[in-house]
Amino acid sequence: MAEDFATPKHIAVIMDGNGRWAKSKGLPRTAGHKKGAEALQLFLTEAERRNIKYVTVFAFSSENWSRPEDEVSALMKLLKQNLKQNLSKAEKNNVKYHFIGDLSPLSKDIVKMIKELEEKTALKDGLCLNIALSYGGREEIVFAARKLAEKVKAGEINPEDISEEVFSQNLYTSGQPYPDLLIRTSGEERISNFLLWQLAYTELVFIDTLWPDFRAEDFDRALLEFQKRERRFGAIKG
């Protein structure tokens, strides 16, 4: 069967605009994050319906730790609630969870739930969901460089063995295809330190919808835009 280039295998999402959504409704920013979590559930249902194999969502960046303490703690509380819900649903759904980022600043109980969710779903063969949490793209690259330097120091590999492939095997997304499509909501047109290595040849689609308002129609529009793109990877169309 011919390969289906029209459907992205891997979609990355910068779920942005929760704060502005709340502000536009005269609500606290936290209300936007809560709605944002619901929008993610909807997005995942739509992704499964469209047979997308990999989804990577930006939930909380390394830089988001610098937000006011009350917003960070509200986000952590929401995260805990969501982890709990997903743990109880894990048996019956078919999602394989993988968390990417530096988990060390997170509380012990959150890390425990994350590990539990990853272990519980490790053998699922449905959607692979990467959740970027306390994640920074530059940091990920630094961590990979450090891991490789340690392997060289231990005499396990030689510096000349470090190829693009070997490097990518030391990133959080090791073994996964790179994203074909990146969707960022809220009208901002930047990467904000997301998947810097992995996005090298990804098609970028920026949409004005604020994340809590993201619906199936927005998904369709993003896919339609993706299908119009001609991916060349530096070559000339044959």
For binding to Mg ion (CB under 5 A), which residues are involved?
Answer: 16
Q: Applying CB under 6 A, which part among 53-61, 107-115, 120-128, 163-171 lies near ligand IPE?
A: 53-61
Q: For residue 179, how many other CB atoms are within 10 A of its CB?
A: 27
Of 19, 101, 136, 137, which lies in the binding site for ligand IPE, with binding defined by CB under 6 A? 19
From the CB of 157, what's the least distance to ligand IPE, in Å? 34
Asked if residue 192 binds ligand IPE (CB under 6 A), the reply is: yes
Segment near ligand IPE (CB under 6 A); pick from 136-144, 154-162, 185-193, 196-204 = 185-193
**Chain centroid offset of residue 5 CA:** 21
**Options 18, 51, 64, 208, the catalytic residue:** 64
Measuring CA to CA, how many Å separate 11 from each of 3, 103, 227? 17, 23, 13
**60 lies in the binding site for ligand IPE (CB under 6 A):** yes
Look up 16 and say whether it is catalytic.
yes
CB of 2 to ligand IPE, least distance (A): 35
As measured in angstroms, the least distance from the Cβ of 198 to Mg ion is 21
Tell me if residue 213 is catalytic. Answer: no
Binding partner at 62 among Mg ion, ligand IPE, none, C-beta below 5 to 8 Å by kind = none
Cβ 196 to ligand IPE shortest distance, Å: 13
Catalytic residues: 16, 64
Residues at the contact surface with ligand IPE, assessed by CB under 6 A: 14-20, 58-61, 64, 75, 186, 188, 190, 192
